Structure 1
């Protein structure tokens, strides 16, 4: 199940936005806006969006990830009106978290071989129906093979560190039943049977627990790191 950790990690900022979108968090939103305003005083429109232990996180990468995040929200039908500052902060936090994990992975001596990158790249490109479809997707997202390979190598490196520093997530039958009961109460007569969705619920709960472990890991690293947000 640990191979799912990076996927979970990459979606953390979306989960964070959903969790903060309620009215009960208005005070937290104001605090985040104040923090963003303070940080923006020294920011530059073409400078880095943050520094992590002296390493700069580029504004170009930030703009690309921000556009991807906004597109994902639209595809999910999420209303993000009035939440631009939150989205931007979430994207920056995600970038900071990935950078912290990468730095710590390198500090602990983790390495990724070219063979591992080749294998992962083949897995990645196998999702496309043809080379033409792959090239079109690359062009639409301003990517090339070298960039994709670099990101996959980084992902593999981070995964090795995360796997070594988190525990295997386990879910009990009772937890699955509780989640199913909550879902059934919400959906009423339209709810599927327990057997139909048991495996899906189990995986959702596992992913949730993995997310929590990764979040805690990042929080611990960030407490000890020198991080400056510049947006």
Structure 2
């Protein structure tokens, strides 16, 4: 019995020793140093966690080693680009930073921004610092590849040689009536069944201030979901549909005109092509600039 106990004890010590030796020690010091400028381990770990979090939500398998390498290389590239921007005397004002954050907040919503900062333990000042860095890099690349660098001949060649034609999506011109109460929606439905003109119903709604009447204009049905999306796809010119329940009340739609999907002319596709070419060239310039500066830089990476 004593012999068996000793064997178990020795086995336990061996297992513990193996686990202790195999566990990677926590890395300290900077994650990388680029020409004397440090990338902190804390900043690296935060961005790595963000990237892993994103990939785990969008992919079945996550190659953590590849993502670690991609993140540290991305952060090294940013250091090199920021240095290039400073050498060219590029600056970003506090006003520009605040404006960028304001625009981002309008798109994402303040709650999401606050949630993001809290989740990743990012202070307001740190966030502004990150925004300023991105704005500086963008200014640098935009200066090196300005909009007027895209020539008319380049855009025409791109249009002519595109593998697939540029498509103008199907769209409809819509007028809508929106009311809040089911009672008013039922009343409008009854009037439509009695063949009361949609325009007349709109005039009454405006006069009685019972809802909103809007010449909504041209829309692409593919951008809408649910009953309203189906109605926009299927209603013929001059037809009225509704009521459709939405989060802000009940809707009635009248399709005034309908245009089928068709290939774009060069003039219609011109701005889209310009954006594509500009983005391609700016991405290429960014990659080229990073590679050139890497050749002349002292870079020490401490994560693997």
Query: Does structure 1 residue 65 correspond to structure 2 residue 47?
Result: yes
Q: TM-score, normalised by structure 1?
A: 0.64
- Which residue of structure 2 lines up, in the alignment, with residue 172 of structure 1? 155
Q: What residue in structure 2 maps to residue 127 of structure 1?
A: 107
Contact 2:155 2:273 in 1 (8 A): no
C-alpha deviation, 1:52, in angstroms: 0.3
Q: 1:103: how far off? A: 1.5
Q: How is 1:210-225 mapped onto 2 (pairs within 5 angstroms)? A: 210-225=282-297
Higher gyration radius (CA)? 2
Aligned to 2:80: 100
Distance 1:145 1:73, change over 3 A: same
Give the deviation of 1:215 after TM superposition: 0.4
* Structure 1 contact 176–202 (Cα < 8 Å) conserved: no
| Residue-by-residue CA offset, 1:55-95 (whole Å, 9 max, x unaligned) | 111111111211222233344x44544x3222211111110
Which digits, 9 at most, give the CA deviation of each residue in 1:147-205, with x for residues without a partner? 22111112222222222333546352443454443999xxxxxxx85439957676445
Equivalent residues of 2:166, 2:264 under 8 A apart: no
Of residues 61, 67, 80 in structure 2, which corresponds to 1:87?
A: 67
1:181 counterpart SS class? coil
Q: Is 2:92 the partner of 1:112?
A: yes
- Secondary structure of the residue aligned to 2:80 is helix
Q: Could you say what the CA RMSD is over the residues aligned between the two structures, in angstroms?
A: 3.1
Residues 81-127 of structure 1, C-alpha deviations (whole Å, 9 max, x = no match):
4x322221111111011001112222232222222222222112222
Contact 2:30 2:39 in 1 (8 A): yes
Residue in structure 1 matched with residue 27 of structure 2 by the alignment = 45
Give the SS at the match of 1:127: helix
Per residue, is there more strand in 1 or in 2?
2
Counterparts of 1:229 and 1:175, CA distance in 2:
41
Compare the two structures and name the one with the higher helix fraction: 1
* 2:299 alignment counterpart: 227
- In the superposition, the TM-score normalised over structure 2's length comes to 0.50
Distance 1:163 1:204 in 2: 14
Task: Pick the aligned partner of 1:146 from 119, 125, 128.
Answer: 125
Higher relative contact order (CA 8 A, sep 6+): 1
Q: How many residues align?
A: 179
Give the 3 Å change call, closer, same or farther, for CA 90–218 of structure 1 in structure 2.
same
Q: 1:91 to 1:124 in 2, by over 3 A?
A: same
- Preserved CA contact (<8 Å) 2:28 2:41: yes
